[in-house]
Amino acid sequence: EVLKQKVWDDEMSSNMLGSEMKKLWQDYQNINTYGVKLSSPGGVSSRLKLTGPELLCQLKEKVELTTLTSDLEPFSELPWASQLPGKQLTSDVGPYKTCAVVSSAGALLKSRLGKEIDSHDAVIRFNGAPTRGFEEDVGSKTTIHLFNSKVMAKDKYHFLSSPLYNSGVLVAWDPAPFSSDLTQWYNHTEYPIFLQYQKHKKLHPRQPFYILHPRFGWQLWQLIQDNMAEPIQKNPPSSGLLGIVLMMSLCEVVHVYEFLPSHRKTDLCHYYQRFYDAACTLGSYHPLLYEKNLVKRMNLGSNLKIYVDGRVTLPGFSTMNC
């Protein structure tokens, strides 16, 4: 079990971080932008560490993938309501047998995982991640593209004109206040997600395009916090984890690539950019450290697979007997 020391430790905590990362973590600890309320008043309670199967069942039971539909208030009252899907993502998309979740980590470079990734029935990618020019390492198939509202709003992403966003199934999310209803969120989104959604819909009326219900992200946040021994950042989970749980809701088996770093682990933030920052892998805004602890605990695959391919295997919810 030499390998155990070389792959992600599922008890990773802030005090194992280097001084620079630890300071960053501290800074984010003190911010509560979305008014997150801890359910146990004393903060984090002394918890029982759940087994992998227990954790998987808790995820299946407590976190429901929900998307916005045209019948929901306040959207039903708005003139553009009919642009929103009439049905849930889960009833329109899939089910698939095997799926791939491709993190955007720099460690994917030189991985030669492209063929394996493309061999899955469905592949999800995130935010600004391209395939062109990186096919050998990340593949070329994109079934679902999940991104945050910043990608939709900031000019540098060219959301309305880039070919990255004009094919496949699109899924977007925006951080909402922790305890707000849809109307409150609609009036105070972090980025103009609904404006950009309508513009995109005008250009590509037939392309499936879903928006995650903010409750989904916060349910997932709660589950992470409930299973960690220390307080986590009070911000929504990363796009990567949202995508993992989304695929567990649509697929029989989910393979996740370079979310838990392989032997190629690097400070290179994304495989498609020359930008170095350890926080991309360890988290700053997002509770990414704890997301990775959770995924490590749920992994059905071996430490060797993580070390060699950065690959984690998770069961789809439909195959689990809880």
Binding site for ligand C5P (CB under 6 A): 103-106, 126-127, 238-241, 259, 269-270, 280-281
| Structural contact between residues 36 and 178, judged by C-beta atoms closer than 8 angstroms | yes
Name which of 88, 103, 44 is nearest 266 in CA terms: 103
The two tokens of residue 66 are 């929900």
User: Rounded to the nearest whole angstrom, what is the least distance from the CB of residue 300 to ligand C5P in the complex?
Assistant: 19
User: 126 CB contacts (<8 Å, ≥6 apart)?
Assistant: 102, 103, 104, 145, 146, 147, 239, 240, 243
Residue 82 beta carbon to ligand C5P: minimum distance, rounded to whole angstroms: 31
> In this complex, which beta carbon is closest to ligand C5P, that of residue 84 or of residue 170?
170
Of 214 and 240, nearer to ligand C5P (C-beta) is: 240
- The answer to whether residues 309 and 113 touch, using CB atoms and an 8 Å cutoff, is yes
Question: What is the smallest separation between the CB atom of 75 and ligand C5P, expressed in angstroms?
Answer: 26
CB of 184 vs ligand C5P, minimal distance in Å: 25
Contacts for 226 with CB less than 8 Å, ≥ 6 apart = 39, 47
- Identify the CA nearest to 117 among candidates 139, 98, 134: 139
End-to-end CA distance of the chain: give it in Å, rounded. Answer: 30
Residue 191 C-beta: closest distance to ligand C5P, Å: 14
Residue whose C-beta lies closest to ligand C5P: 240
Q: Which amino acid is present at 177? A: P
- By beta-carbon proximity to ligand C5P, the closer residue of 213 and 270 is 270
The H or E element containing residue 314 is strand 311-315
Nearer residue to ligand C5P within complex by CB, 84 or 164: 164
Nearer to ligand C5P, 101 or 253 (CB): 101
Residue 314 near residue 241, CB atoms below 8 Å: no
CB of 12 to ligand C5P, least distance (A): 13
| Closest approach of ligand C5P to the CB of residue 86, in Å | 29
Could you tell me the smallest distance in angstroms from the CB atom of residue 127 to ligand C5P?
3
Query: Least distance in Å: CB of 107 to ligand C5P?
Result: 7
Q: Which candidate, 311, 317, 297, places its Cα nearest to that of 52? A: 297
Task: Say if strands 144-148 and 96-102 run parallel, antiparallel, or are unpaired.
Answer: unpaired
Helix (H, G, I), strand (E, B) or coil at 159: coil
Closer CB to ligand C5P, residue 14 or residue 238? 238
Give whichever of 104 and 249 is closer to ligand C5P, judged by the CB atom: 104
DSSP state letter for 232 = P
Q: Which is nearer to ligand C5P, 84 or 151 (CB)?
A: 151
For ligand C5P, the closer of residues 106 and 315 by Cβ is 106
For 267-296, letters b (16+ CB in 10 Å) and e give ebbbbbeeeeebbbbbbbebbbbbbbbbbb
Measure the CA–CA gap between 46 and 48, rounded to whole angstroms. Answer: 7
120: which strand partners? Answer: none
